[in-house]
Each structure stands twice: as C-alpha cells, then as structure tokens.
Structure 1
Amino acid sequence: MVTRRFALLMALGVPLPALLPSPWLSTLAVLGVMTGAALLDVLVAGPLSAVSLRRDGDATVWLGNTATTTLTVANTSERSMWLRLRDRWVPSAGADRTPHLLHLSAGEESQVTTTLTPTRHGDRAAVRVTLRSYGPLGLAYRQRSQRWNEAVTPKWTLRVLPRFPARRLLPEKLAKLRVFDGSVVTRGRGQGTEFDVLREYVVGDDVRSIDWRASARTHDVVVRTWRPERDRRVVCVLDTGRTSAARIGDEPRLDAAIDAALLLAVLASKADDRVDLLAMDSVVRTRVEGGGHRTKLPRLISSLAALEPALVETDFGLAAGELLRRDHKRALVVIFSALDAAPIVEGLLPLLPRLTTRHRLVLASVRDPETARLAHLPAEATAEDVHLAAAAELALAERTRVRALLEQQGVIVVDEPRETFASKVSDVYLMLKAAGRL
C-alpha cells in the first residue's frame, strides 16, 4: 500500500511534465519512476512475520486510577524495520490512542508503553495491535489483515476494581472496632464475649471472674479475661437484578452497594470475622466463600469487579436456597437490594420466616433523593408538577410500607442516601457485634 508521501509527490510531480514539449511521455515517465520507487520501497520493507510481540504491566487497577502496560516489539529479521504501531483496547479501557513510530535494527527490541484510564469497572481486554512496516523512502508499506493482527496480539486483560470511596471511612470505623475488639480485653464476661486468657489477679478485678480451679493449680489467684466473639459469619448478598440498574445520581445502584459491601467486608475481616459473598439475580453471578481472611478478601474484591446489572427479575427463592443450604451456624446476612414493593413483597417477604429463624437479616437500600425532591411542589406549580409530586408521594409511601413489613419480620432496614449509605451499613454491623447479636 502507498503512503500519503507517495500521493503528495504524485500530486506535485504529475503536473510538471505539462510544461515540457512532450507532456504525455514525460507524464508516463514520472508515473513509471514513482511506481517503481514505491514497489522497490515495499520490497525493501521488513516482513511483518519477523515481528515478535510480548506484553507485561499492570493486571489490576482501581477505577479512577491509571494503569500502564508495556508492549515489547522485537525485530527477528536480518534487515532494519520502520514500524508504525497502534495498540487498540476496548473503548472503556481509556487507552491512549496515539500511534507509535519505531525504527528497529536487525535483532533489536523496543518497548511501547500504553496508558490506560478506565471509565468502568470489570475486565478490559486488549483488542488488537495493528502493525505497518514502511520502506526506507516512506512511499509504501506492508500491512496484514485484521485477523492476522489479532492473532499476533498478546492476550492481556486488565481487571478494573470498583470504585471504593468509602475507603476514607476505614480509620473511623476501625477506631470504633478497637473499642470492643480483641485489642481491648474486658475484665468481666458480657454479652457477645468469649474466653481469652488467664492472668494474675490485680486490685479492681471482679471477684466473679476468679477461676478457682486454676488458682488452686497455680497456688495463686488468677482471673479469666474475655474478649468480643470472633470468627462470626457475615454474608453479603448483592442483588444484581433490574432494580440494581437504576441510577442514583450519576451511578447505578449496584455501584453504591458494591462500595458499602467492600467497606463492610474489610471491617469484618479486620475483626477476624468470616466474610462470604453471594451476587445473584435469576442466576448466581459470583460466590466467594471458604479460605482464610488474607486470601479471601482479595478474591472478594476481584469478584466484585466483574459484576454488572442484569435486566431480569431477581429470584429471591434462589438466594434463600443458597443461604439455607449452608451449615447451621448463625450468620449476619446483609442483602443489598431496593425497597421496591413488587420484588420485596412478592419475592422476599414469604421467605423471611425461614431465613430469620436461622440468620440475622439486614436489608440495605440506597435512597434516591430525587424522589423526595419531586414530592415537594414548587411555588408556581403546573399540572405536570402536581402529577410528578403525587407519583413521588406514592413511591415514598410504598417504600415506607415495605420497610414496616420487613421490620415486623425482624429485619433491620438501612434506608440511606448515597453519601451516608456505606457508613450506616458498617455502623449496623458494629452495633450488632458490640451487642453480641451477630
């Protein structure tokens, strides 16, 4: 294929023979020379089959941050190469689209860095590396088919972890946790505590905590110390059905749920509690359970990255079956869903008697402030404003009714706006843990 330089030279060279006595012969001569030069140029250009590609770089990145990948280009032929390379990714990867120009001598390698600024969480794949090999004159180039370029492109997927703005709340929540966590050992036994260690009696200890058998064995007065219970189970259930696609502000409801679930998971892991994850709608999208605290938390964060809302109705019967099939150990189950009447009343409410007898249930829902705003009539209201306000009031009344029905069944309901949602969910966990009600 010819380049723009060839087309420019042709545009400048072809009109010149018109000034000579034999313009047609001169024009043909110019065309022949230019065509011959282009053919010679493309024959001298390095073969693309001699180009070797390999890639390394960042495999994960938090949404909002920047990642880089490095593409190593090697010339395995015995001639020099002038290459033009474009590294293409899916649009949401936010890749730098600037083409790269390389001159590689025989056997030489060069590195090309691509900067990625993703706009969505999930897996973002490299699509294709497009290669062009130019001749030394820059008049023509070699380029293979799109399928060939895709075949030689090194496979690479960047996992974009979800945005985690609630991370800023961790110091505050951890400070609250340390008040009653194992770092503060209590002198007396209370609700939600378990035996820690024996130690020597000191003035001020409750005499009821003296262990008389251990004192007789050691010939000294020793007391039992207690600490808050550990190894409790926390199960985060994320509803990825159609209601999770509703936008709260400028992001889907699911993103707010992921943010709150991340804060809760990190906090519970710091408290040495077991955190499991179940994300589902009409089918189970992801499940994380088992493993130690150090290995499970990275797996949980990574699995949350791939979640997207599905435009299907959520099957709460499936969720109940997943929760009830587990062992009989009591757990704190936090269901991140919407307080919509249809899915809750028809889907979740009939299953609550079985679930609440086995587990402690919390339903966490993000409140849309736009609904409350529409419920207030402006000073000069139009007929359209009146209809919107009536619809908003009806939606708020339905939400209040659904909340009352859930609370009657012993479910703790968190209904907060996006700004305080993650904080409130974690506060409920801390309150239950302090009271020994997990």
Structure 2
Amino acid sequence: MMPRLSLLYLFAAAMLPFALGTIWPAAGQAGVLICLLVFLFSLIDLVLTPSLLAIEVHREVNEVLSVGTTNRVKIWFNNRGDVPLKIHVHDEPPLPCQYTDLPFDIELFPNKHQYSIYHVEPHHRGKNRFRRVFLQMKSRFGLWTVYDERDIRQEIRIYPDIQAVRGVELLARRNRLAEAGIKMSRLRGRGTDFDRLREYRRGDEFRSIDWKATSRHQELISREYVVEKNQNIIFILDCGRSMCNADEGVTHFDRALNAAILLSYVALRQGDTVSLMACSSKVERWVPPIRGAGSIQKLIRQVYDLEPIYEASDYRLMSEQLQLRYRKRSLVVVLTHALDEVHLEYLGSALRMMRWPHLVLSAFLRNVPLENRMNSIPETDREAFQIAAAAEIVSSQTQQISALQKSGLLVLDTLPENLSVNLISRYLDIKARQLL
C-alpha cells in the first residue's frame, strides 16, 4: 500500500495550527489532536478497504502467437468478496512488443466472472513468456493505494505470421486467392491432367473450349485441367548478415521466412513436397521433405526460432549442401538480399552452380532505404550527389540481376513487403507453364 496525495494534503492541513503555536499555544495543542484524528481516520480507511486477495485472476492466451501481428489476450477476474471493487490492472506481456488497451480499469461485481481484453504485437520470434499481473485499487475513502501482484507465468511460442497462413487458407478454400494479390489466371486450364468441365470464363483460352459440350448446353463450356503434383520445392533461406536489414521494423529475414511458410502452404495444398535449408556460414537448419497440407504446422514448429546471424553467408556451401542432400530435380527457391555488386557477383556464381539438375528461382529483396533515397528530390548539392550515387548502385544491381536471368536463372526482384504475394504468383506461373 501507498499513501495518496489526498492523505498527504490532510496531514499538511492538520499541521497548519503548528504555525500559530508560537503566538497561540492552544493552536499547537489543537494541531496535535487534529493530526491524531487524521492518522486514526487513515487507519480506519485502511481497515475498511476490502482486500485484493479476494480477487481471482486468470489469463487466457494462445500458446502460439504471431510475430508482427495483433494477438488477443483475455484476463479473467472473479470477485469473491461482498462489495464491488474498481481496480486498475497491468500485465507483463512478452518483450519486445507493442500493446494496446493496457493498462485498463474494470469494476468487479461480487461473485461474478468478468474479463477484459487487450492486444499484443510481438516483435521477436522464439520462446517467450507472460509474467506478472499487477492489481491496484483505491481505499474506501481514497486515502491509500493498495497494490497486489499475481505471478501468472505462461510460456508461449512466437511463430512467424501464421495468421497470414490462415488467411491464405480461407481464401484458397473459397477459390479467392486473387483477393490477396496472387495472380491465378495463368494456372487455370494450363495443366495436363483433365479435371472437369465448367462454364466459360473471360480469359479462358479458346483451345480449352469443349465444342461438343458447348453444342449440348447451348453455352460455352471450357475444359479445366489440374497441374502436376508430387513435385519438389526446396527453400534455401539466407541467414547471413545481409538479411539483418530491416524495413519498417521487420527484418528481411522475417519477410523471407514468412514468404517461405506461405508458399509452402500453397505448395503442400497443390500436392507438392516441401523442404527447407537455412544457411549462414554453416547449415543452421535442415527440414527434410514433408508432404500434405497438414504438414505446414510441422514446418512452422521447426523454423519458428530461426534468427539471422551477423556473419557473411557462404553461398558456395549452400550449393554444395544442396547437391549432397537433394539430387532429384526440384524447384529451388533462394531467398536472399544482395548488399552490393561484389556480394551479388559472389552470390550469382553459387546460384549458377545450383542449376543442375534443379530449376532455380532466386528472390532478391530490394534495399528500400536506398530506393527511397534514389527517388527523393535533392535540395542541396550534397543530396544530389547522394541521390546520384544511390541511383548508380541500384542500376548496377539491376543489370547484374538481369544478367543472372539471361543465364537461365529465374529471378524475382521485389520489395520486401510484396515478397509473399509475388513469390506465390511466380510459383503458380511456373506450375502452369510446366517448367519443372
């Protein structure tokens, strides 16, 4: 407990008669009596205040939270006392994070289960925990602040953005992936295995029209084909220092990991096999091939605590380990970020080594601050020089990436925020064109 300002003001007022004690002795005696009365009143206030021990507290939160997204936390209360209590509540969420609707005030009625909700946005993947819940209440007459805390530790795991996986799953079930920005038009009707007949839709190729069915139904009918299944997708995730760069508080590595998980889910739903290798100067994690849409949780559990390392990546090692671990032809998706022209040249030589017998798709995350600087308007000669230098760097990297593409590699040069959508669209395009 702690005295409030109101109690301090009362004692200050009770001591005013002491100032008159030198000229009026009776005032000093009255001051002593008043101070005793204030002290007695404060003790009575403390005794009459209900105990916070009468409040039961329970936290309800998922064992798995998503990094960078809003997660709901519910705190339950049960007032076992006989009078209503107005309390101030604060929780200790897993750090680092941002939270809203916390702390909060709530009035608890006797023998009634009540709850309040706040939201937390974790900023770091891996294992973490909720800690204590703090309770605070005014005394009956407002002279004291009463405190209590409950050590309600809860271990949690903070995964990559699994809410995005659930969103893609919902759209996929409704055949509405285009709403997420994923281009589906080239997939329909371009497989080799016949699936069904359906009504003609704008954008269908004329060669897909079934003229016999059209004559019977007196409307255009198209043949729909499904793409090949049981193909292999291997993700190579760069865990080196270049992936530590951040855009809007989210590292390139987190963007790449989220994109790999989302594409893995789409590929598993397509009937393909998915595996993942994370490398820096050594192999940090290897996830053997998995199959089936339900296996996405297994993949997430094995990679949720991966973090980039402030070391230079060994791209030659990536190529050698790929050849050792998987010789069957696969779509190899390399997720990386090139710091400069020298870095990109070294990376390009390793990518060329991966081409046989695989189909290599290399996704490069752009340097957002550099591009923003290039597109800014100069106000001084110094800024003009900086903008020109930024433009030269971006132009040189663009030419090198274009050279990689001409050498037979599939290349995706994208902003970090668009990586997931563009990567899934490119995968569906590869499947539709039967490149694998």
Whether these two folds match at TM > 0.5 is yes
Please report how far the alpha carbon of residue 152 of structure 1 lies from its aligned counterpart in structure 2 after TM superposition: 1.4
Corresponding letter in the other structure for 1:429: Y
Cα distance in 2 for partners of 1:48, 1:182 equals 70
1:140 paired residue number:
144
Letter in 2 for 1:113: S
Contact 2:160 2:254 in 1 (8 A): no
Post-superposition shift, 1:415?
A: 1.9
Q: Tell me, yes or no, if structure 1 residue 98 matches structure 2 residue 93.
A: no
Task: Give the whole-Å Cα distance in 1 for the aligned partners of 2:276 and 2:114.
Answer: 40
1:41·1:135 contact (CA, 8 Å) conserved in 2?
yes
Q: Deviations over 1:26-45 (max 9, x none)?
A: 22222222223333444555
Q: How big is the shift at 1:365?
A: 0.6
- C-alpha distance in 2 between matches for 1:421 and 1:59: 28
What is the TM-score when the length of structure 1 is the normalising length? 0.70
1:364 Cα deviation from its structure 2 partner: 0.6
Q: Which residue of 2 aligns with 1:53?
A: 57
Partner residue in 1 for 2:11: 10
Give identity over the alignment, percent: 21
Amino acid at match of 2:6: R
Provide the residue aligned with 1:297 in structure 2. 296
Q: Name 2:272's counterpart in structure 1.
A: 273
Q: State the one-letter code of the partner of 2:92.
A: R
Distance, in Å, in 2 between the alignment partners of 1:316 and 1:307 is 18
Query: Residues 256 and 82 from structure 1, CA distance in 2 versus in 1: closer, same or farther, beyond 3 angstroms?
Result: closer
Task: Output the CA distance in 1 between the equivalents of 2:271 and 2:195.
Answer: 15
Aligned to 1:85: 89
- The equivalent residue for 1:326 is 325
Deviations 1:88-110 (A, max 9, x none): 324623132233244564xx354
Query: Distance in 2 between the 1:377 and 1:294 partners?
Result: 45
1:437/1:114 Cα in 2 relative to 1: closer, same or farther (>3 Å)? same
Give 1:281 shift. 3.2
**Unmatched runs of 5 consecutive residues or more in structure 1:** 187-202, 205-225
Give the counterpart of 2:117 among 108, 114, 117.
114
Gaps of 5+ in 2: 197-211, 214-224
Change (3 A) 1:377 1:60: closer
Structure-1 residue corresponding to 2:392: 393
Counterpart of 1:27 in structure 2 is 31
Q: 2:413 aligns with which of 397, 412, 415?
A: 415
Q: In the TM superposition, what is the alpha-carbon distance from 1:319 to its structure 2 partner?
A: 3.6
Give the Cα–Cα distance (whole angstroms) in 1 for the partners of residues 113 and 356 of structure 2.
64
User: Alpha-carbon deviations, 1:115-148, whole Å to 9, x = none?
Assistant: 215274646753431124654333234435xxxx
Distance 1:80 1:415, change over 3 A: closer
- 1:411 maps to amino acid: L
Q: Deviations over 1:179-235 (max 9, x none)?
A: 23587449xxxxxxxxxxxxxxxx99xxxxxxxxxxxxxxxxxxxxx9643111112
Q: Does 1:437 align with 2:435?
A: yes
Instruction: Rate the CA distance shift 1:310–1:28 in 2: closer, same or farther, 3 A.
Output: farther
- Given that residues 191 and 434 in structure 2 are in contact (C-alpha distance below 8 angstroms), is that contact kept between their aligned partners in structure 1? no
Task: Provide the alpha-carbon RMSD of the alignment.
Answer: 4.5
Q: 1:60 to 1:16 in 2, by over 3 A?
A: farther
Output aligned runs, 1:294-373, within 5 Å.
294-300=293-299, 309-317=308-316, 319-320=318-319, 322-339=321-338, 340-346=340-346, 349-350=349-350, 352-353=352-353, 355-368=354-367, 371=370
Aligned to 1:179, which of 167, 189, 214? 189
Q: Is the 8 A contact 1:244 1:254 kept in 2?
A: yes
Give yes or no for contact 2:344–2:400 (8 Å, CA) kept in 1. no
Change over 3 Å in CA distance of 1:101–1:286 after alignment to 2? farther
Change (3 A) 1:25 1:342: farther
- Residue 160 of structure 2 contacts residue 257 of structure 2 at CA under 8 Å; is this kept in 1? no
How many angstroms does 1:361 deviate by?
A: 1.5
- Give the secondary structure class of the aligned counterpart of 1:97: coil
Given that 1:245 and 1:311 are in contact with CA atoms closer than 8 Å, whether structure 2 keeps it comes out as yes
Partner-residue secondary structure (3-state), 1:230: coil
Provide the C-alpha distance between the structure 2 equivalents of 1:104 and 1:377, rounded to a whole number of angstroms: 58
**Matches of 2:235 and 2:421, distance apart in 1:** 15
Q: 1:347 to 1:63 in 2, by over 3 A?
A: closer
| 3-state SS of paired residue (1:238) | strand
8 Å CA contact 2:259, 2:423 repeated in 1? yes
The secondary structure found in structure 1 opposite 2:134 is strand
Contact 1:170 1:263 in 2 (8 A): no
**What letter is aligned with 1:338?**
H
Q: Give the Cα–Cα distance (whole angstroms) in 2 for the partners of residues 406 and 414 of structure 1.
A: 9
